[in-house]
Structure 1
Amino acid sequence: MLPSFNHLLPTGNEKGQYLALDVGGSTLRVALVELRGREASGRESEIIRMDSFKITPEVKKLEGMAFFDWLAARIQEVVSKEIDIAQGSIPMGLAWSFPVEQTSLGGGLLMGMGKGFLATQGLQGQDLGDIIKFACKKRGLTVQLGAIVNDSTAALLSQAYKYASTRFGLILGTGSNIAVHLPVSALSRNKYGSRPASWFDSASHVIVNTEVSMFGKGVLPLTRWDELLNASHPQPEFQPLEQCLSGFYLGEICRLALFEAINSTGVLGGQLPPSLEKPYSLDTETISRIEADTSPSLEEAISYFESQHPSLHRPTIADITFIRDLASLISRRSAALLAAALFALWELRHETEAEAEHLTSGAITSTTTVAAVKKSDGGVVVSVSEEAEAPRTKVAFNGSVIEHYPQYRSNCQHYLDGLVAQSGHPGCVDLVPAVESSLLGAAVALASAVEDEKAAS
């Protein structure tokens, strides 16, 4: 679990236009984002202009500064249309979908990007903010990278601007991750590295990148198909929870179970479609579309499966019903495990908030956690005053699986509601969509930093 440099949640009063960048594995997006404040209900934030640029295989092969020169050229294309370059330094917020060792809110040491990128050659270990600033300066742009966020932090911040009770950011698509807002004291001091004392003086809480996908070794109940997937994985046991959870693996788990069923039960006429011999050939989109067909004839599901995996045996209603039931079990397990992970982190927030308040002998003030703390037999007991309203905590989510997989969100919410109801703590946890969270979250992080600087001066 990695603490970020983001310790400020937005007040909802931040206003203005901010430049935001989202650098992903296949796309660069440059946007001008306008923040209007929470009082502009329904119109709190808006992307005024956005330009998308494909990161082609040729761009990925650009080595070192050549990649950042390309990046700067794209930034210039957008900025020259929207911002007076003569106005001085242009602050930017960046959503960076690659590893970076953050050294400040707007700075971080460049690490290997993977995914075929050669941009770190000769630059690894150098400050990402300085690299982008230098590349832009060569084009006459004076920019200042004011905030760097990862995708889960961006989701949290984008909705915290709208809903003050947002304390989690969730990503569930091809991969998975959760960010959570915790007291600084929840993590040992050595987790924070060598950040200045001034950071600790100003920070009571911190947004933590949990890297939750790596949890679960020796804990998760695994099937023999999970074991098969893990055994053939290039990094076995590196991301135990992700292998049970994310969109990259759901289809493969289904393929492994289906492979056994074809041989043992005679489903699909006992004939394995040739295309399914290859690992990961049954993708999550296919099982999602099969689950989405609730008609008695399953005509759409049959047609789609047949188009993706042709065979001498044409799938029957019974065949596709079997695959649909199998896919449903796999997706529901994923939703249940995600709910368990969110619930565990929700419990962690309760515990660490209570401990932090106990250490400072203060009163609980967070509207989304507990309302009072008292000592009992040397321990800490969480209670809520009669006047306190049951707190609601929001989880901002983004990602193809939780957004689009049939019934996934409702299943996860159902399991989450059940866990919270049995916890003994008051309140509820709500899943809320974070649309365009990377760009909006980067803009909100930048706006919060700008406001903080103004207040400090």
Structure 2
Amino acid sequence: MRPLISAMTSLRHVLLAALKSLLRGKSFLQAMLAFWISPAAVTSQDGKLTPGPTRTVADFLNEAEDLLLGPVDDGLSDFAAKLKQQFRIGLRSNPACMLPSYNHQLPSGHERGQYLALDVGGSTFRVALVELRGKGVKGPASTIVQMDSFRIDSRAKSLRGLEFFDWMAERILQTISKESKRGSSPDDPLLVGMAWSFPIEQTSSKGGKLCGMGKGFYAAEGLIGRDLGEIIELACRKRNLYVELSAIVNDSSATLLSEAYLTSSTRFGLILGTGVNIAVHLPVGTIGQPKYGDRPQSWHDKASHVIVNTELGMFGKGILPLTKWDYSLLDSHPRPDFQPLEHLVSGYYVGEVCRLALVEAIETTGLFGGIVPPSLLSPYSLDTETLSLIAADTDPSSSAACKIFASRHPSVVEPDCADIAVLRTISSYIARRSASIVAASLVALWELKSETEEELLNTLPADSPFAAETKAEMEIARTTVAFNGSVIEHYPGYLQCAQQYIDDLVSTSSRVGGSIELVAARESSLLGAAVALACLE
């Protein structure tokens, strides 16, 4: 346990701490005595005097490991099996998830042309001119000719209904006006492909009914059920900009399409950043017929398979390995049942779970001098980016990590390498749990795809044009999963951890043969939106 504050941080720090306690309602003498005698005797959690450490750091970490990784280490295969059953039910009857797109044809890799692409993500809106050059050409098969990126901050997220789409239209116009006068005539609208990072009930390749958005957005307010393509086209027309959204894809579907343009074995697209989602290429008959809506028979005549937006975050209710910190997060969440799985894996929530665990560790073990940095009292104040930067500092002194934490979460007690080591350990448990759940989700979907391909083949006449396509799907030896997102791309060790969990699950899978490989898909949303548009042509 750390020595007294007088031996650690000087009298000036004690006085500062006491002054802060005084401002929270303590008497000056009470605050001074508490901080002088035992730094862990007072925390900033609720401004009240509390006992000193009640357990050791080692005890806390043992409990954290048991809670966060125990269910993963002992029952991940069982969890994947239960998740697969939820996927089957969702495919048939849940209108909010397992949503079939209009993309039934994967790219050949030889599509060519320049396309305007939009990417609406959880924190960024991008507008780009994308050139597809095709496989086999000298140089890259695709390039981004021009791109503007706009941060979707809290103010933009709070825009309600049409206000948000007006905000989008302004930025589309801002980008287009730099390049040319294209889109200035209603008789010659500018064709656009868009990656949309939120649920949509697709009614055509170019449109779909807007659904609840989550992630702190209010743009769907008053517009749920309205056609997304029409909303955006109307917002643009108000600015004398005429566009036609010819292809709308979910960001996970865009990720799948972008890598399928380069790698023919790609059948999954994984997004893991602020949120989480997976797109998967499945037989058409796997999905309940009502989910296809009123799409024309000509579409069904051509489509043996379709890219499905799973809305993965919505699954897991009743089977997820929740801890006391997860329950605490849910208690204060405005929609605790909306995306159960996302709460345990995505970048938006990983930091919050770690914050809740860290506050408990500080209050009960004397970590960080027993004083909770004031900023950590605010929900979601410990972001996953901070944890990623701390995890990346492998120097024994942890000097860089100490500076990062102290600058973002200042306190009267400066963190030392022992504090940071504990924080790094807690966050590593949470990151590993996230990676294991993502791995289980992928393997469950991989098994489900194999099973449904076999089910389809058994129902097809021998001379069916779909039989050859289905057999080809079943013969893919190494399935490629295209991935994109800040967590899986940048969190140290996350990708390797997820791949190891995948390999372990595949080795014990009921499916015989085959493997899964995670492959990075750079700029996948923009490229995928362009590929979707090219496939339509």
TM bucket normalised to smaller: 0.7 to 0.9
- 1:322 counterpart = 2:457: no
How far did residue 188 of structure 1 move? 1.8
Q: What amino acid maps onto 1:16 in structure 2?
A: G
Distance in 2 (CA, whole Å) between partners of 1:255 and 1:416 is 28
Distance in 2 (CA, whole Å) between partners of 1:334 and 1:269 is 29
Of 319, 322, 325 in structure 2, the residue corresponding to residue 219 of structure 1 is 319
How far did residue 24 of structure 1 move? 4.0
Aligned pair in 2 of structure 1 residues 163, 320: CA closer, same or farther (>3 Å)? same
* Corresponding residue for residue 508 of structure 2: 422
* Corresponding residue for residue 376 of structure 2: 276
Of 306, 316, 338 in structure 2, the residue corresponding to residue 206 of structure 1 is 306
- 1:2 counterpart = 2:99: yes
The question of whether the paired residues in 2 share the 8 Å contact of 1:51 and 1:78 is answered with no
Distance in 2 (CA, whole Å) between partners of 1:41 and 1:413 is 32
> Mapping of 1:167-316 within 5 angstroms?
167-316=267-416
* Corresponding residue for residue 49 of structure 1: 146
Distance in 2 (CA, whole Å) between partners of 1:269 and 1:250 is 24
Q: What amino acid maps onto 2:144 in structure 1?
A: I
Q: What amino acid maps onto 1:336 in structure 2?
A: S
Of 87, 103, 116 in structure 2, the residue corresponding to residue 19 of structure 1 is 116
The question of whether the paired residues in 1 share the 8 Å contact of 2:345 and 2:435 is answered with yes
Distance in 2 (CA, whole Å) between partners of 1:447 and 1:27 is 24
Q: What amino acid maps onto 2:335 in structure 1?
A: Q
How far did residue 102 of structure 1 move? 2.0
* Corresponding residue for residue 37 of structure 1: 134
Show structure 1 runs of 4+ deviating over 6 A.
81-87, 114-123
TM-score, normalized by length of structure 1? 0.85
Of 496, 500, 511 in structure 2, the residue corresponding to residue 410 of structure 1 is 496
Distance in 2 (CA, whole Å) between partners of 1:346 and 1:165 is 13
TM-score, normalized by length of structure 2? 0.73
The residue matched to 1:254 in structure 2 has which SS? helix
The question of whether the paired residues in 1 share the 8 Å contact of 2:374 and 2:411 is answered with yes
* Corresponding residue for residue 148 of structure 1: 248
Q: What amino acid maps onto 1:410 in structure 2?
A: Q
The question of whether the paired residues in 2 share the 8 Å contact of 1:63 and 1:121 is answered with no
Q: What amino acid maps onto 2:347 in structure 1?
A: G
Distance in 2 (CA, whole Å) between partners of 1:330 and 1:171 is 18
Aligned pair in 2 of structure 1 residues 431, 233: CA closer, same or farther (>3 Å)? same
Higher Cα radius of gyration: 2
The residue matched to 2:380 in structure 1 has which SS? coil
Distance in 2 (CA, whole Å) between partners of 1:402 and 1:264 is 32
* Corresponding residue for residue 342 of structure 1: 442
Bigger shift: residues 34-43 or 392-401:
34-43
The residue matched to 2:328 in structure 1 has which SS? helix
Aligned pair in 2 of structure 1 residues 226, 357: CA closer, same or farther (>3 Å)? same
Distance in 2 (CA, whole Å) between partners of 1:55 and 1:306 is 27
Aligned pair in 2 of structure 1 residues 42, 171: CA closer, same or farther (>3 Å)? farther
Q: What amino acid maps onto 1:402 in structure 2?
A: I
Q: State the percentage of identical aligned residues.
A: 58
How far did residue 41 of structure 1 move? 6.8
How far did residue 428 of structure 1 move? 1.5
How far did residue 341 of structure 1 move? 0.5
The question of whether the paired residues in 2 share the 8 Å contact of 1:298 and 1:320 is answered with yes
The residue matched to 1:240 in structure 2 has which SS? coil
The question of whether the paired residues in 2 share the 8 Å contact of 1:66 and 1:119 is answered with no
Distance in 2 (CA, whole Å) between partners of 1:3 and 1:86 is 31
Structure with the higher helix share, 1 or 2: 2
How far did residue 71 of structure 1 move? 5.2
Mind listing any 5+ residue stretches in structure 2 that lack a counterpart?
1-97
How far did residue 369 of structure 1 move? 4.3
Bigger shift: residues 293-302 or 99-108:
99-108
Render the CA deviation track for 1:105-136: whole Å, top value 9, x for unaligned.
Answer: 01223456677877668866443334444555
Aligned pair in 2 of structure 1 residues 81, 20: CA closer, same or farther (>3 Å)? same
Q: What amino acid maps onto 2:428 in structure 1?
A: S
Render the CA deviation track for 1:169-215: whole Å, top value 9, x for unaligned.
Answer: 11111111111110001112122223222221111111111111111
Bigger shift: residues 80-89 or 267-276:
80-89
- 1:441 counterpart = 2:534: no
* Corresponding residue for residue 375 of structure 1: none
* Corresponding residue for residue 391 of structure 1: 477
How far did residue 96 of structure 1 move? 2.6
Aligned pair in 2 of structure 1 residues 222, 46: CA closer, same or farther (>3 Å)? same
The question of whether the paired residues in 2 share the 8 Å contact of 1:63 and 1:120 is answered with no
Aligned pair in 2 of structure 1 residues 88, 324: CA closer, same or farther (>3 Å)? same
The residue matched to 2:474 in structure 1 has which SS? coil
The residue matched to 2:341 in structure 1 has which SS? helix
* Corresponding residue for residue 400 of structure 1: 486
Aligned pair in 2 of structure 1 residues 203, 258: CA closer, same or farther (>3 Å)? same
Distance in 2 (CA, whole Å) between partners of 1:392 and 1:138 is 49
Distance in 1 (CA, whole Å) between partners of 2:488 and 2:200 is 26
Q: State the number of aligned residues.
A: 432
Aligned pair in 2 of structure 1 residues 216, 86: CA closer, same or farther (>3 Å)? closer
Aligned pair in 2 of structure 1 residues 144, 357: CA closer, same or farther (>3 Å)? same
The residue matched to 2:279 in structure 1 has which SS? strand
Q: What amino acid maps onto 1:5 in structure 2?
A: Y
Aligned pair in 2 of structure 1 residues 72, 370: CA closer, same or farther (>3 Å)? closer
Aligned pair in 2 of structure 1 residues 10, 410: CA closer, same or farther (>3 Å)? same
Distance in 2 (CA, whole Å) between partners of 1:109 and 1:255 is 37
Distance in 1 (CA, whole Å) between partners of 2:479 and 2:517 is 6
Q: What amino acid maps onto 2:506 in structure 1?
A: V
Structure with the higher strand share, 1 or 2: 1
The residue matched to 2:116 in structure 1 has which SS? strand
The residue matched to 2:106 in structure 1 has which SS? coil
How far did residue 266 of structure 1 move? 2.2
How far did residue 302 of structure 1 move? 1.6
Distance in 2 (CA, whole Å) between partners of 1:187 and 1:278 is 43
Aligned pair in 2 of structure 1 residues 117, 248: CA closer, same or farther (>3 Å)? closer
Distance in 2 (CA, whole Å) between partners of 1:142 and 1:368 is 42
Aligned pair in 2 of structure 1 residues 66, 320: CA closer, same or farther (>3 Å)? closer
Distance in 1 (CA, whole Å) between partners of 2:298 and 2:368 is 65
